[in-house]
Each structure stands twice: as C-alpha cells, then as structure tokens.
Structure 1
C-alpha cells in the first residue's frame, strides 16, 4: 500500500508542476541564436570573404603551376557560391 501511495504522490506532484508552469519557465535560446548569428556573420562577412579570396588565389596558383585538379577547383567554387549565396537561397525558400 505504501508504494501505491508514493506513486500517487509523485503523479500528483508532477501534474501540479505541469499545471503551474508558465511560459516564463521555458528555456531561453538567445545564447544559441547569438552563437549561430556570430558564425553566419563571420562566414559571410569580411573574414569569410578574405578566406574565400585566399582559397581562390590558391586555386589560381595551382592552375599556374599545372597542379590543379578540375574536381577540386569546382568544389571550391561551388562551396564559395553556397556560402555567400546562403542568405539568398534561404530567403527564397
């Protein structure tokens, strides 16, 4: 009988906590939002453009030396297009 009574108490306490929970008790996701915003700004901002410039310069030098593979060059170009066009791609969806 004691186990049944404690289970009823646990269920009652859980239901009371759920009923009294308010929207203010919900988890605040602003730190995660800020993290992703910072990453997106870094990738598409000045730092991202500088990294893209270095990548394209590397492709150019590799072509100049005759050491560039077309698949590698294509993947670098497609990657840059996706990174810098991500905002436009997402706005279109």
Structure 2
C-alpha cells in the first residue's frame, strides 16, 4: 500500500503540464469561441442598436398613449440599458471585487 501511495505521489510531482492548450482556450473550442464572438457582435452591433431604438420609441409611444403598463415599458427600457451597458457593469463589479481583496 505504501508503494502505491509513493508511486502516486511521484507521478503527481513529476508530471509535466500539456503545453498544447490552456485554460482560456481548451482544445476544440475554436468553433465555440467564434460562435460566441459572432453572437456578441450581433447583440452589440448596428442591427441591435437600431432594433433597440425602435423598441424604445415604440414602447415610449405606447406608454404615453396609455396602451401598455408603465412597468412593462420600464422593463423594456431597463433591458436595453443592461444589454448595451453589460461590459461597463461587469468592469465595475470586477474593480469593486478587486478592492475588497
């Protein structure tokens, strides 16, 4: 039993890491990473900005004419702020978390 434990510890200590991949970009993730980048570009690109402007204008008009609830309208507008401000929100949270360490 002692020999087995000693062999296991020796294997852990003497093992070399695989240099072909990293934690940030594991093997085979090229397709997934490119798909996520495409999605990010679509959600934050020109088309999304135009759709958000039209949505806010439409919801604002419907709120002013009393056709929809103000809470629903505020939810749509708040969602647009969160979508386009996500990078700034995350950066603020990360800087606050680093101050606490």
Q: TM-score when scaled to structure 1?
A: 0.66
Higher Rg of the two aligned structures: 1
Q: Which residue of 2 aligns with 1:79?
A: 79
Q: Which residue of 2 aligns with 1:48?
A: 48
Q: Which residue of 2 aligns with 1:38?
A: 38
Structure 2 residue ranges without an equivalent (≥5): 1-14, 95-101
Higher relative contact order (CA 8 A, sep 6+): 1
1:60 CA displacement:
2.0
Which protein is richer in helix relative to its size?
1
Q: After superposition, give the CA deviation of every residue in 1:32-70 in whole Å (9 maximum; x if it has no partner).
A: 111111111111110110110111111122124321211
Count of paired positions: 76
> What CA RMSD, in Å, does the superposition of the two structures yield over aligned residues?
2.4
Separation in structure 2 between the aligned mates of residue 34 and residue 89 of structure 1, nearest angstrom: 23
